[in-house]
Amino acid sequence: MPWPLLLLLAVSGAQTTRPCFPGCQCEVETFGLFDSFSLTRVDCSGLGPHIMPVPIPLDTAHLDLSSNRLEMVNESVLAGPGYTTLAGLDLSHNLLTSISPTAFS
SS3 for 41-74 is EEECCCCCHHHCCCCCCCCEEEEECCCCCCCEEC
Tell me: the pLDDT tens digits for 81-93? 888 888 999 999 9
What pLDDT score was predicted for residue 15? 64
Q: CB neighbours (10 Å) of residue 42?
A: 24
What pLDDT score was predicted for residue 31? 76
What pLDDT score was predicted for residue 90? 96
Q: State mean pLDDT over 58-66.
A: 93
Q: State mean pLDDT over 65-86.
A: 88
pLDDT at 96 over 90: yes
What pLDDT score was predicted for residue 51? 82
Quickly state the pLDDT bin for 8 (edges 50, 70, 90): very low
Question: Percentage of residues in the chain with pLDDT exceeding 90?
Answer: 36
Q: CA–CA separation, 5 vs 3, rounded Å? A: 5
